[in-house]
Chain A
C-alpha cells in the first residue's frame, strides 16, 4: 500500500499556512515602520510616528472597536453577522447615563451592569430571531440596529448626558500601570478571546457551524444554542465598548457609535475572517483594527486631506480580500 500512502501524502507547506495572521502582521509593521522612517526624515516634523503619544492615540481610538471585534469575529466565524453593535453601544451607554444622572440616581456599578444587560438583551433578541425564526442575520440585525438607535433617541429625548460619577469616569480615563484603562481592557479581551477561539472546544465549535451548519449539527453541536450565545456575546461586548467610550468622554450622546458596525466588520474581514463563515481569528481581527486605526494619524502626519481616510479603508478592505484569495489559490 505504499503507493497509496505516497499518493495521499501532503506536501503543502502547512506550518506557514497555519499562521494566517502573519501577512497582516507584516503589513501593520511595514506601515508603522514606514511612517516612522518618514517622520524621522521629513524636515520640520517634531514628533515621530511610533512615539508614545501617537501609539496611545491609536490604541485608545481602536479600543472600542477591538472590543466589538472580539464578538464580531466569533460571529463571523460561525457564519453570523451583527450590524447592531454601533447602536447597541449607544443604547447601553445612554441607558446607564440616564440611570446615573436622572431621578433614579442609581449607583454607577448597577447602572453599568444594567447597561451591559441591555446589550445582552438586544443580542439575545438577535440570536433568537436568527436561530429560532430563521431570519437572515443581515435583515435581523439591520432591524435591531434601527430599533436600538431609535430607542436611544426616544429614551434620551434626543439630547446627550454628561458629568458622571468620578468612579465611572475613571473606567474610561483612569490608568493601570500608566496605560489608560480602555486600552488595558481591550487588549485583555483580545488576548482572552483569541485564546478561547483557538483552544477551547466550546468556542472552536464556531468553525464547524460556520463551515457547514448541517454537518456541525450532525457532529453533535447544538447549533442554535451557539448562535444565540454568539449574538448575546456580541451585544454584551458592544455595550461594554459603548460604556467605556462614554466613561472616557464623561458623556453619552444618542449618535454615539453611528457607523461603527461597518468599521468593525471591515477590520474583522481585513483580519482574515470571511462573510461565508468558517475562518478568522481574534488576533487577526485586532490587527485589522490596528491597521485601520493607523490610517487617521498617518493622514495627519502626511498632511493629506481627512477625507482620504474612507477611501483608503475601502481600498484596504478590497485589497485584503483579494490578496487572501490569491494566497489561497493553489
Chain B
C-alpha cells in the first residue's frame, strides 16, 4: 500500500473541464464552463455567491453530476458518481468546515482509515507516527504527530486538514475559503504551505472571496459570473478592480458609499470609560457620536468581540462606565441592552445569529418578538408577515417569500437577514461584528449602504472587522486593539493599512490622534 509519495514531481497532472453545464430548476448554475488547471499552479476561482463556484467545486468533487460536459484528468475522461470516487481518482478537497476528530491524534487524523496495520488488522503505531513525522517534516510543519487535534489552534487544525487531504496523495487539491477563520499571521503560514505544494507540482484550485489574498497567491484567476466563465487571466495581468468589474459586470469605484459629516459637538451617543474584564480586555474607552461609524480593527483574539459582547450584556465586563446619551447604563443581559436600544450583530451567523431551520420571517422578528405580542400573549401573525415582507424587500433578500428556510439561503442572503432583523429594531447603537464575513461583493455593497443609512438616521455604529479595506472604507474614526487593550486610535484620514497592521501587531509604537 502506498501512503505518501515523496517523489511527488513524478505525477504532475492537469485537470481540464470542458463545456460543463448544470441546471437547478430554472437556474442555469453552470453554462458551458471550460477551464484547465495545470500541475504546479495555484488557480484561483472567484465570483459572487451564485456565480457557480460551489456548483463547479461540487461537480469536481463528485458531489454533483453535470448535465453535460466532461472532466479530463491527465487527459483521461473521468466521471464521478460520488465524492469517494473523486477522492480515489486523486482529487482532494478541503472545505471551510473541518473534518477532523478532536479526540484523536494528529497522526490518526491525517491517516484516517489508512493507518499502517499488521496482518490481523492492528494498528502499527510506531510506523504511523514515523510516517506522520515524515510528512510533517516534508512540509516543514512543527506539529507533534501524537498531539490531540482538539488541543490545536484553528490554524494548526487547518494545516492538519490540508495534510490529511495530501496524505491521500492527490494530484489536484481544492481549497474552499481556507482562510475564513484564520488570522493574518495564520494565513501567512497557510500560504507558505500552499506555495511549497505548488513547488512540488500539485495542481491547486483556490476559492476565495478575499481578492487581495487571491492576488497574493494565485498564478491564474478564473472569474465566474451567473454560471458563465467570463475570464481566465494570468495573475500579472489583472488588478483587484479588474476582478471586481469582471465579477459584478460593472465598475465599482467605491463600494463603501458616501461618508456623511459627523457632528461631534453634542453628547456622544455611546461613551465607554475604563471598561475591563481581567484577562480579556482592560482600559477600554471610546466615544461614538450619533451618525458616526467607529471601526475596531485588530487581530482575532485581540478582545474586540468580547468588548462588543460586554456592551451588549451577553458577557458583562467586570468594571467600567458605559454612558448612553450621557446616562450611565450597565446591561447585564442582552434583553437589558436591547431595551436601551443597543443591538449586536454576531460574527458567527450560523452558530450564534440565525435559526437556520426556521423561516426568514421568524428570524427577522426574533430580536423584537415583544413588539408583536398581542392580547393575552398571542403573537400577531399578520403584523409579523407584513413587517417581515417589508424588511425582506428593503434588504433585497433573494428568496421567493419570507417562509423560506434561512439555512437554504446563500451566505450573503443569510447575512442580510441577520442584519435586517437587528436594524429593524431601529437601534440607537449597533455593534456589527464582521458583518460581511464570507459575503460576496454585491451583497457587501448592499450591507454597507444599510449601515450608512442607519448612521444617517442618527445611530452610532461600532464596526468590528478584520477586513482592513472595509474598516478604512467605512469608518469615520477607528481604533486598533491588541492583546485586550486599545493599541492605537486614528482619524480616518490618518490611517492606512500599514499603520493599522503595525498597531495590531505591535511592531512600532504606532499611535495617532482621535
Contacts and interface: CB of A to CB of B under 8 A. Distances in A.
Given A219-B114, A330-B151, A8 B143 contact: yes
B272 interface: no
A279 B99 CA distance: 15
A200 B122 contact: yes
A7 B193 CA distance: 14
B100 A12 contact: no
B121 A10 contact: no
Contacts of B117: 201
Contacts, number: 104
B103 A216 contact: no
B187 to A, nearest CB: 12
Contact of B112 (A7, A18, A216): A216
Q: Which one of B99, B114, B189 has the greatest number of beta carbons of chain A within 10 Å?
A: B99
B122 A10 contact: no
Contacts of A1: 140, 192
Contacts of A328: 150
A219 B112 contact: yes
B308 to A, nearest CB: 22
B115 interface: yes
Contacts of A207: 101, 103-104, 108
Contact of A221 (B113, B140, B155): B113
Given A14-B151, A215-B112, A8 B87 contact: no
Interface string A222-245: 000000000000000000000000
A10 to B, nearest CB: 4
Nearest to B149: A211
B159 A8 contact: yes
A10 B113 contact: no
A214 B99 contact: yes
Given A208-B112, A330-B151, A218 B141 contact: no
A10 B152 contact: yes
A1 B155 CA distance: 16
Q: How big is chain A's contact interface, by range?
A: 35 or more
A9 B146 CA distance: 12
B192 to A, nearest CB: 6
A148 B216 CA distance: 63
B262 interface: no
Contacts of B144: 9-10, 14
B152 A218 contact: no
A10 B156 contact: yes
A217 B141 contact: no
B123 interface: yes
Nearest to A328: B150
Contact of A211 (B103, B147, B192): B103
Given A8-B156, A201-B115, A201-B122, A14 B147 contact: yes
B147 A10 contact: yes
A6 interface: yes
Nearest to B152: A10
B100 A4 contact: no
Contact of B99 (A6, A7, A215, A330): A215
B148 interface: yes
A9 B87 contact: no
B141 A208 contact: no
B141 A4 contact: yes
Contacts of A157: none
Nearest to A209: B101
A12 B83 CA distance: 35
A52 interface: no
A208 B101 contact: yes
Interface string A40-70: 0000000000000000000000000000000
Interface string A1-28: 1001111111010100110000000000
Interface in A173-194: none
A219 B92 CA distance: 11
A219 B104 contact: no
Contacts of B151: 10, 12, 14, 17, 330
Given A211-B102, A278-B101, A204 B146 contact: no
A5 B142 contact: yes
B84 interface: yes
8 contacts: A4-B141, A4-B189, A7-B189, A8-B155, A10-B144, A14-B146, A18-B146, A207-B101
Given A8-B155, A8-B159, 5 more contacts: A4-B189, A14-B151, A207-B108, A218-B84, A278-B101
> Which 7 interchain pairs have the tightest Cβ spacing?
A211-B101, A215-B99, A5-B142, A279-B103, A219-B112, A12-B151, A9-B142
